[in-house]
Structure 1
Amino acid sequence: MMHLLVEDVQSWHQHITEAGIADKYDVKMSAVSEQPRGMLDFVVHDPSGVLWRIAQNI
Structure 2
Amino acid sequence: MIQPGKSIRTFIGAKNFEESCRFYETLEFQLNHHGKGFAYVSISPEIGFYLQDYYVKSWCENSMVFLEVEDLEAYLEKIISLDLPEKFPGVKVSPIRKDTWGNEFFIHDPAGVLWHIGQFTP
Q: Does 1:22 align with 2:85?
A: yes
- Runs (5+) with no aligned partner, structure 1: none
RMSD, matched Cα? 1.0
- Tell me the CA shift for residue 49 of structure 1: 1.2
Identity fraction in percent: 35
25-34 vs 47-56, greater mean Cα deviation: 25-34
Structure possessing the higher radius of gyration over alpha carbons = 2
Q: TM-score, normalised by structure 1?
A: 0.88
Which structure has more relative contact order (CA 8 Å, sep 6+)? It is: 1
Q: TM-score, normalised by structure 2?
A: 0.44
Hey, which bits of structure 1, 4+ residues long, moved more than 4 A?
none
Q: Which has the larger strand fraction?
A: 1
Structure-to-structure mapping, 1:3-42, within 5 angstroms: 3-26=66-89, 27-36=91-100, 38-42=101-105
Return the letter of the residue paired with 1:15: K
